[in-house]
Amino acid sequence: MTHLSVSELGTILSVWAHPDDEAYCSGAIMAAAVAAGQRVVCVTATRGELGSTDPQRWPAGAALAEVRTKEMAASMAELGVTEHIWLDYPDGGCAEIDDEEAVARLRTIIDDVQPHTLLCFGPDGATYHPDHMATSRWASAAVDGTGVRVLHQTNTPAWQEKMDSVVDRSMVMMEDRDPVTVAPEDCLVYLQLEGEALEQKFRALMCQESQIGPLIALGGPEMFKQMISEEAFSARRDLV
């Protein structure tokens, strides 16, 4: 399969569940598109108020939401993305949101942005996180009938093997199921990052200190860079 270049993605709408999802999954793609003069709009469903990695320093709740809001703004600035929209749904509560309401909100955004390409989680949500899975469902449904190309985030088997050697799956996966992986040759977009592209993505994620601290502590900056050096998207996948 021939991989699409970033320039072939046109105007990009990037839809995610929590602050930092977008940088992990598509930071380099978004940055490259912006640098090439393409429009990039990022949507985040929640402010991540429950995502505390250090309850002493960052207790869950409104204060953490404020921290993550500021971190997200700094991360977007590092990537050059100037258009960002919060849906302000509750962290951990996206599965309880009425699908029709969420889809309608995203359709309004789609009507305004007129994207050529939608980037979002696949139906597995990468980790089977209910928020990830809900935002994938909303975003994919919102572009039905519009002609917008849907690209679902994935990881390759080699990347997953590398991750498993560093991080216990139980720390990441929300269900006792194997993660979905797609071989590089079967991806529609596949980037193996190095040089400034990798450094820029690293800087963007470093802006989100409340989230990446444990991973940096686990293996150090160079190991973390290896963990974020791949961005992979497949064609729209069926429900899992």
Q: What is the CATH number of the domain that holds 87?
A: 3.40.50.10320
The residue type found at 144 is D
* Helix (H/G/I), strand (E/B), else coil: 11: coil
- 182 is a domain residue: yes
- Express each pLDDT in 44-87 by its tens digit: 999 999 998 888 888 889 999 999 999 999 999 999 999 999 99
Under a CB-based contact definition with an 8 Å cutoff, are residues 74 and 68 in contact?
no
Split into its structural domains, the chain has a count of 1
pTM for this structure? 0.95
The predicted pLDDT at position 240 comes to: 57
- 1 is a domain residue: no
Q: Which of 131-135, 201-205, 223-227 has the lowest mean pLDDT?
A: 223-227
Q: Which residue has the tokens 């703004």?
A: 73
* Structural domain boundaries, residue 151: 6-235
152 forms beta bridges with 120, 234
* 129 band by pLDDT with thresholds 50, 70 and 90: very high
121 forms beta bridges with 153
- 240 is a domain residue: no
- 175 is a domain residue: yes
- 92 is a domain residue: yes
The residue type found at 199 is E
Does 1 have pLDDT greater than 70? no
User: In the numeric block, which tokens belong to residue 107?
Assistant: 């359709």
Share of the chain above pLDDT 70, in %: 99
The C-alpha atoms of residue 98 and residue 89 are separated, in whole angstroms, by: 11
* 39 band by pLDDT with thresholds 50, 70 and 90: very high
| Mean residue pLDDT across the chain | 95
Report the Cα–Cα distance between both ends of the chain, in Å, rounded.
23
User: In the numeric block, which tokens belong to residue 213?
Assistant: 């601290």
The residue type found at 66 is E
| Average pLDDT of the segment spanning 156-171 | 89
* 217 band by pLDDT with thresholds 50, 70 and 90: confident
Looking at per-residue pLDDT, the higher value among 167 and 70 belongs to 70
